[in-house]
Amino acid sequence: MAGRGGNAALASLGAVALRDRLASGALRAAELVDACLAQVEAREAEIGAWAFIDPAQARAEAARLDGLRASGRPIGPLHGLPVGIKDIIDTAAMPTENGAAFDKGRRPTEDAWAVARLRAAGALILGKTTTTELAFLEPSKTRNPVNPAHTPGGSSAGSAAAVAAGMAPLAVGTQTGGSVIRPAAYCGVVGFKPSFGAIGRSGVLTQSPTLDTVGVFAADLTGAALLADALFGHDPGDPATAPAAPPRLLETALSDAPVTPAFAFVRPPEWALADADTQDAFAELAALLGDACDSVDLPAPFAEAAPLRETINAAEMAKCYHRYAARGRATLSPTLTAFIERGEATLAKDYLAALDWRAVLNAGLDQIWRRYDAILTPATPTPAPEGFASTGPAIFNGLWTFCGTPAVTLPLLEAGNGMPIGVQLVGRRGDDARLLRTARWLTTRLAAQAEG
């Protein structure tokens, strides 16, 4: 095993650099897994990012992958890269317990579609990352690696924390409100929630079929693009997906923008919830972008988006989680129980009317896409709150989940207390590759100005 300094050096490399070293033979999968496991050993007691991890199993899989490469047979685009999988995504070789007491000890017989895609691409499934109870709001055991006195967010808390702590270069999560973007922003990593229907959900716990979206975490933008590239595709078991040509996310993200991107700085309807650090940081960022950024107001109907999304989420949760409620509500958290009961009380006319609003809101966004490449907006109202009473508000994320648009958060800003402030970029639905290219342009621009 590499020394502690070597582990830290490997952990600091981006996934694309690791991929290239693994493909060339300059790095063995066994060495990388050992480095990741050393980080787990060093920080897991403090952070609690994993619901399940078996070092012996991980090392055996690394040895198999090293043998495959040594044989001269073809290797996949993620060959040897360790990936953490949120514990609501089925894995045949590991438990999937959904953060729920009822599912303790549950072992699926098949991999989820997304996990099967990862294995086919040569990824090494390192373990299962923590989730909040049934991917809702009850906090998990996980702590924020930047400062363990602060929440890591949720519900994909373990995925964000594992990447932030260098325990895994890549991880997979899900978002129904803000469960990818929020924890990524809080923990200071890149989180990418693609367009609705981009990644198949067969074998993933269903909370809200209209909203549930699989997303990814990485230390940098190109790592997120690399992982998402392997996951985009048609899942016959998920009607939200459709046959389509590969989007070439990484290739596009690495390409130069043909012109300087135009950004629409949007203050969401709940802008008053943003603290002074966040408001000041985004005012400075917009000013720094100069003519490339305009302040843009969302049309008035967007003020209704948050309660409409909650209506859909509650109604569909009441249906999808009926089996849990029927088996004993006393074992569920009061927060989850109350939301299920809200869904049970939702009238059909209100639910159906809420569904109609996605088209209305996207029509309003079309006015922005005619002129701008991306919306620039905070990922969260504040940096990660101190304490663990909640996972923090998802109010700056739910709108984009409702609309089905792609969103990415970039760890580009910092609060006065040293906690990360995520810069969220939002793109047109289906235009994921262009969004990632724009995000890379922004990252590169800010890095150049910081060096200058």
The CA radius of gyration of the chain, in Å to the nearest whole number, is: 21
CB 50 within 8 A of CB 75: no
Q: CB-hemisphere CA count at 13 Å for 377?
A: 25
Question: What are the start-end ranges of the H helices in 172-220?
Answer: 181-187
Listed in order, strand segments (DSSP E) in 131-268 are 170-175, 190-193, 213-218, 263-266
Q: Is 233 left (phi over 0), alpha (psi -120 to 50) or beta?
A: left
Distances (CA, A) of 1 to 15, 61, 69, 162, 219: 20, 16, 20, 20, 23
Angle at 181 between CA 227 and CA 130, to 5 degrees: 75
CB proximity list for 377: less than 8 A, separation 6 or greater: 265, 266, 267, 268, 282, 396, 424, 426
Question: How far is it, in rounded angstroms, from Cα 37 to Cα 166?
Answer: 10
> Between vectors from CA 376 to CA 372 and to CA 378, what angle results, nearest 5°?
165
Q: Say how many CA atoms lie within 13 Å of 413 toward its Cβ.
A: 27
Q: Of 263, 271, 259, nearest to 296 (Cα)?
A: 263
Count of positions (residues) in the chain: 452
- Distances in Å between the Cα of 423 and the Cα atoms of 191, 375, 438 are 10, 10, 13
Which residue in this structure is represented by tokens 């650090």?
Answer: 277
Stretch (H or E) spanning 402: helix 398-403
Tell me which residues are annotated as active site: 86, 155, 179
Closest CA to 174 of 126, 129, 240: 129
